[in-house]
Amino acid sequence: LLDRFGEQREALLSTATELEARLGREVRAAGAGSGRKNLWQATGVLRGETEVEVARREQREQLAAVQSARQILQAGAMQSTIRTPLDEPLGLRGTLLERVAPLMHVASAAALGFVYGAGRGYLRGYWQDVTPSVCRELSSAVGRRTAVGAALLVVAFEMLPRAKAEALKALGREEVTDFKAAGALEQLAASDGVYVFLLAALNFAFPYILLPVAINPTQLLVPPSSHEFPHKPTSTP
């Protein structure tokens, strides 16, 4: 949703500027109002605001709302210019949250992997009936190893879409978008093979990394930066 607003930011700013100018002219034309009561208000026959005063107040409120929304859009435009060191290597795009999401995924997976690996290591030592000091040493070693492996797995998965695009570009091929296209099965099989091989290799070198990565909370909350969300173009009024 934030990315969709980001793509339409320029059009929204243009519309907000035009609307602000029109409301400003209407407010200036209506005047500030004298604030004096007419005969009916003074005698208590008519209580509250008149229709003219209500319309004038609504125009001022609408102008304030448009100005506030315009400031929010301009602040979002300034934030979207902030770049991170991983934007170019990973081909990141979208809002600042989506572009720093890989760092969040790596940090979260490493922290979760350390907790899970340390717990597994301590329980393994406890079941082997070793001394508490050995349990703590085993817990620390397994926790660090699981944290490194989980972080490497997330980094690899974040870089694979960019690596796949570069490989297809070097081979002079285009990415498959239709299963009926020529060579679609071979390309999909090769891509799946790379993913499975990478997963098996890292899981062999760093045990206990599958569960922390599978339940990584940031990856469940923030969509991957390489995904294109389909959307229909907005219709002009």
At 114-140, the pLDDT tens digits run 999 999 999 988 888 888 888 899 899
Least confident range of 66-80, 96-110, 146-160: 66-80
Between 96 and 174, the higher pLDDT residue: 174
Quote the pLDDT of residue 236.
43
Helical spans, DSSP H, in 31-81: 39-42, 51-80
Between 180 and 203, the higher pLDDT residue: 203
| Span 151-166, average pLDDT | 85
Residue 149: pLDDT above 50?
yes
Positive or negative torsion for Cα 105, 107, 108, 111 = positive
Per-residue confidence band for 230, with pLDDT thresholds at 50, 70 and 90: very low
Residue 170: pLDDT above 80?
yes
Please give the share of the chain, as a percent, with pLDDT higher than 90. Answer: 14
Residues 6+ away with beta carbon under 8 Å from 198: 153, 156, 160
Tokens of 226: 């390489």
Between 203 and 5, the higher pLDDT residue: 203
Residue 188: pLDDT above 50?
yes
Report which of 199, 197, 195, 191 is spatially closest to residue 168, judged by C-alpha positions. 191
Average pLDDT, the chain: 75
Look up residue 95 and give its DSSP letter: S
Residue 73: pLDDT above 60?
yes
Residue 147: pLDDT above 90?
yes
Per-residue confidence band for 237, with pLDDT thresholds at 50, 70 and 90: very low
d(CA 161, CA 191) in angstroms, rounded, equals 10
d(CA 131, CA 170) in angstroms, rounded, equals 56
